[in-house]
Amino acid sequence: MTIVETAPKQGRLARASAVLIAVIAVLVALDDLVHGITVSTGRVLIALGGAEGRLPLSALPQLLQADLREGTTGYLTDAPWGLRLLAASPAAIHAVTVLWAALVLTGILRYIAGAKPFEAPAISGWRHLAFILVIGGALQGLADTFAVFEIAHLSTESMFTGKHLLGADYSGIGVNIPQWPILLIVLGIVAGSIAAAFRAGARLQEEALGVV
């Protein structure tokens, strides 16, 4: 009786988890989208009451500070458009990674809800999830690293040549260290381990059925 009752409960839990994962993924992606738009355009989405809509250069996620020389002005909108897109690319990659991973994971949970965790599509889903998280995390980290080095290069060149390659005359630029999504990559490795475990479980199940 207990086993019979447990299966429907596990199915309901898996379906509820799938809904929760989908909602969280959409919210995270929306946050990334807003962040990417503001960085790439150099402006806040909504400026009320005549407030200044342009963002400072320090709004770039790769910067810790950007101090303008006394008596000068400068905004993120003055920076090269390509640089702004590069700085916003990690957020875009993160959004795609999270949405894609959530789509695959909800598919896996449907098999778990149907008490079919060892089916080939479910095991394949774990492998795909591992690939998405590891590759997506690596691409996000590489994009942020490239953006950090490009900003540092332009800042250094501006200092030695006197050209305002960041769009304005800055007396000091503080560049952040590259941000790598370690959690995403670790979760990808975990998903790969789960795929291996479920594959072994599927083989044991086949052997047990063969014995019967």
In the chain, how many H helices and how many E strands?
A: 4, 2
Distance CA 106, CA 14 (A): 9
Please determine, for residue 194, whether its predicted confidence score (pLDDT) is greater than 60: yes
209 vs 47: which has the higher pLDDT: 47
User: Do residues 125 and 104 lie in contact, with contact meaning Cβ atoms separated by under 8 Å?
Assistant: yes
What pLDDT digit, counting tens, does each position of 73-123 carry? Answer: 999 999 999 999 999 999 999 999 999 999 999 999 888 887 777 788 888
What pLDDT digit, counting tens, does each position of 141-188 carry? Answer: 999 999 999 999 999 999 888 899 999 999 999 999 999 999 999 999
Helix (H/G/I), strand (E/B), else coil: 174: strand
Distance CA 67, CA 73 (A): 10
* Neighbour count for residue 46 (Cβ, 10 Å): 7
Tokens 């409960």 sit on residue: 9
Looking at every residue in the chain, the average pLDDT score rounds to 88
The confidence score (pLDDT) of residue 113 equals 81
Q: Are strands 170-175 and 63-68 parallel, antiparallel or unpaired?
A: antiparallel
DSSP letters of 53-114?
-BPPGGGSTTEEEEEEPTT----GGGS-HHHHHHHHHHHHHHHHHHHHHHHHHHHHHHHHHT
